[in-house]
Amino acid sequence: MKIFNEKKINTTKIETLGEFGLIEKITKNNKLINPNSTFGVGDDAAVVDVGDKYQLFSKDLLTEGVHFDLTYMPLKHLGYKAVAVNVSDVCAMNGVAKQIAVGIAMSNRFTVEAIEELYEGIYLACKNYGVDLVGGDTTSSASGLLISVSVLGEVEKNKITYRKGAKKNDLVVCTGDLGGAYLGFQILNREKKIFKENPRIQPDLSGNDYVLRRQLRPEAGTKYIEILNELNITPTSMIDISDGLSSEALHIAKSSNIGITIHEDKIPIDYTVMNLAAELNISPILCALNGGEDYELLFTICQSDYEKLKKDPDFTIIGFVNDKSEGNNFIANDGSIHPLTAQGWDAMNS
Ligand code: ADP
Ligand code: MG
């Protein structure tokens, strides 16, 4: 008896497309049929017209073993981070997060107390960001823990900021500092390895509080959105830095149909990150370009907004927008120009 129809077996491996190639493939024929679905796939959050304002809608899924490692990630921090990364996507649209729904799937290795600890972090983030937890879903998984958070936010219609609005001659701005989260990850992995080889050696995390915090408990850029509002600046484009500066700059460039040039000497890097990178023999600039998970905001502004922003230490102007035909470039400290690629600048591979 044949139960299934015989079918040609297709064997295209996901890695041949990569994350963004796959998203493009599965969404390219997607048509929005509701007139109030203003913007769908392709930005940090979807946009729904709800009358006076736009509603923002986004989701991020974290899976054990891929996005977090419970050997060193305290569950409370994980809960906090799961909310923060979603709030960050709403910030990237120049919006304010209001509600979240949380889905969890867990294997039978998790205890009630463990899940309660996770929720302590979730509730703390909700309190800090002024967000209400309004629902979710709870189920079991064959192995490991999965956390899926959906977030709703809102933004004034005239303030909404997409990835697609950057214009030639705009300035490229970055909030806070970069590279720390990647170094935090390196430290945690180093100590995990040592611990695995010899469980009697206690992890040495001393003196690395800043980078560990950047990795384990990142903050969404809500304060930057408030400051921009106070300064009366609406960026022309914006994205949050989840995958590294290069990758995000390229997303803005592609969506806006322009090119971006970034100056190495302008990239903001905390002195603790500088020192630790030197100690670990890693280039701090590559940490910033490719590391990811800093959850800072990358945006572009009209040159006429420069005066309003220039004195605020929260923001650093790191480059400018050029014509698409001039490409995406990285100007190194020695003045040499390199194409900006998703893996950083080409010198990394040389
Ligand atoms: P971000 O890093 O800002 O969370 P992603 O890179 O995860 O954004 O996703 C890029 C875009 O693709 C977003 O608009 C997101 O909503 C959309 N997207 C991602 N995965 C899927 C999917 N499986 N189905 C439909 N849309 C998706
Ligand atoms: Mg994002």
**Ligand 1 binding site (Cβ under 6 Å of any ligand atom):** 23, 26-27, 41-44, 60, 89, 242
Q: State residue 103 phi and psi, 5-degree precision.
A: -105, 135
Return the pLDDT at 109.
96
Distance 39 CA to ligand 2 centre (A): 15
Quick one: average pLDDT of 337-349?
A: 68
Q: Tell me if 185 sits within 8 A of 192, measured CB to CB.
A: no
Beta-carbon neighbours within 5 Å of ion ligand 2 = 44, 89, 240
Q: What tokens appear for 136 in the block?
A: 């979710």
Name the closest ligand to CA 45: 1
Mutational test site, ligand 1, from 22, 41, 67, 86, max ligand atoms within 8 Å of CB: 41
The ligand whose atoms approach the alpha carbon of 29 most closely is 1
Counting ligands in written order, the one closest to the CA of 149 is: 1
| Ligand 1: nearest atom to the Cα of 27 | 25
Smallest CA separation from ligand 1 atom 5, residue:
44
Helices 180-197, 271-280: axis angle to 10 degrees equals: 40
- Ligand 2 center to residue 199 CA distance, Å? 38
82 or 18, higher pLDDT: 82
Atom 10 of ligand 1, nearest CA residue: 42
Ligand 1 atom with the smallest distance to the CA of 19 is 6
pLDDT bin (cut points 50, 70, 90) of residue 5 is low
Q: Which ligand is nearest to the CA of 298?
A: 2
Is residue 205 very low, low, confident or very high in pLDDT (cuts 50, 70, 90)? confident
Buried b (16+ CB within 10 A) or exposed e, 252-261: bbbbbebbbb
Helix/strand/coil for 16: helix
| CA angle, residues 238, 240, 242, in degrees to nearest 5 | 150
Q: Are 291 and 273 in contact (CB under 8 A)?
A: no
Residues 157-187 have pLDDT tens digits of 999 999 999 999 999 999 999 999 999 999 9
Sign of torsion, CA 318 319 320 324?
Answer: negative
Rounded distance from Cα 6 to ligand 2 centre (Å)? 41
Residue 284 is given by DSSP the state H
Give the confidence band of 7 by pLDDT, cuts at 50, 70, 90. Answer: low
Residue whose CA lies nearest to ligand 1 atom number 3: 44
Alpha carbon distance 261, 265 (integer Å)? 12
| Mean pLDDT score across all residues of the chain | 94
Over 90: is that where the pLDDT of 10 sits? no
Pairing relationship of beta strands 132-140 and 96-106 according to DSSP bridges: parallel
- pLDDT-derived band at 6 (thresholds 50, 70, 90) equals low
Closest Cα to atom 7, ligand 1: which residue? 60
Q: Whose CA is nearest to atom 8 of ligand 1?
A: 44
Q: What confidence category does residue 348 fall into, taking pLDDT thresholds of 50, 70 and 90? A: very low
Quote the ligand 1 centre to 60 CA distance (angstroms).
8
pLDDT tens digits, one per residue of 61-117: 999 999 999 998 999 999 999 999 999 999 999 999 999 999 999 999 999 999 999
Q: Residue 184: what pLDDT?
A: 96
Output the CA 242–ligand 2 centroid distance in Å.
6
* Residue 261 near residue 190, CB atoms below 8 Å: no
Answer yes or no: is pLDDT of 25 > 60: yes
CA of 293 to the centre of ligand 1 (A): 16
* Contact call for residues 48 and 54 (beta carbons, < 8 A): yes
pLDDT at 221: 98
Residue entry with tokens 């600046």: 233
Distance 221 CA to ligand 2 centre (A): 12
Give 120's contacts (C-beta < 8 A, 6+ positions apart): 76, 79
What is the spatial distance between Cα 290 and Cα 242, in angstroms, rounded to a whole number? 10
User: How far is the centre of ligand 2, averaged over its atoms, from the C-alpha of 253 (Å)?
Assistant: 15
